[in-house]
Structure 1
């Protein structure tokens, strides 16, 4: 039973990361408003593939809630009906959530795939929560945390809706990203506390957990700063256009310099942490993953600045940061578990 639970937890974690990857692609392609409503897309469970499906047509059935574009605005069918030869305004209500009324089939389907991954991740976490009832007597925290993940996924879905309704307000995008990392942390914790008990590793009694925790916190701060830089880039894209990549970082403000300077601190601190682990022989092998991910983060960051945003460098930078957070969080769990096992300070 414990193995089955952990398999579902790992699957849930993979799906959550797929949602993060899909979300990064959505941002890279500017597809955030590909579906102007939520949870449906233009009032459909399966989105349209052609603009003609979003236009009024005579003698055509429409279902309640279906959205079309009329006079460069979104209107919603207020009942199910079949059109006649003339447009009847009484059958339609204005869409009031926002005034974005553009259809791009690529953007629509990219956003739809993002939502599909989100739905799959939500379904997987629900199965996980049901399986967690087996732990209710002996490990109540597993059950409680599993259901917190489900509620977290629900809250994340609500945040996704508010992002759409706000027409991609930067603050809400940032909260959306942070919530994804919270869900990642909860799933990793569930995976860790339900693993098969093993003999404790013979590690020196060294207080390393606080330093690991500090690096984790600084990584999270760096991710938040990165979302602010991304906001600035998005504003530059609106000004100069998608093709003028060489101008996206013109007139950069203090947020960019803070993000870049802070990255130096993060890199140096992780190098110090790694050096301490290697020197004393603490055996935390995942520090190698941390160093590798940081190296890739630095490469993608440098390439965006000096090579004018090569293809996929932006989503890669974000996904690598979320993976780095996950590995660091797991390292912190191992470090505190080691302290508890060894009964050291």
Structure 2
């Protein structure tokens, strides 16, 4: 064999160009693919929402005409109102006009509320965000800690007592859980407010105002947390049972690692990617659950705003709220999926 052949054998030609087909490029392509998929879903939601809201019986104008607001209106004035409210023409022309305005960044104007839809959403969104962000630590930390305790000693006292209770909570829909909390802590044992987001008479200092807002948010937060607690409890319990057989857990126990360090530094850290992946699926459930919770407690968030739009047949507000919340949920879902994938690859 000559020197050229020997050199080729000693230094084989690389099968792929550096950077092309690398894991980083694959992760970036997966991230972009996920974004494009969610963008297509978002477009489908926009069209579906615009069409379904107009198939519903009645509209905003009919609700207005059934009150004293319509007294003295002529046929021409009614037709002019239809055009102003985007209700003139057929369904196709109405949907097309709405999509054209939406592409220009205009969510519309709510006549029953006498305010732009975007302004109404920006006013209601912080209240919904407060409930969701307040409920997250309860079901994330509480569910994970209880699941770890039950999974470390299957069949122990924690597992025997907590698992049946959590199973019962999992069978309760959010509306039922909210009504039960309202009945117990608002009527039978009236220690917390039963509705609204702020006290009737606000305190003079900021601390007193914050305490009043927090007291009004406790029951809705608990109702949301109870709805999602079971998911993370059973997830943490199952993952803890699997981790107990892993070599690094067995070695840590053999080295005499303290129980608390074993829970936090070993089992807890290993649960983070799985909890984030489950949180990605939970976001949609939280948004749907907050709709019922806000109705029960008359909480002025986006769910209660959508409910009022349905009652008023306010197409513009209903479309804007659903489209806005769908965009927020899909964006958060995409970000959480990317973060959980990154943490899973890091181990």
**Interval of TM-score (by shorter of Structure 1 and Structure 2):** under 0.3
Higher relative contact order at CA 8 Å, sep ≥6: structure 1 or structure 2? 2
For the pair shown, which has the larger CA radius of gyration, 1 or 2?
2
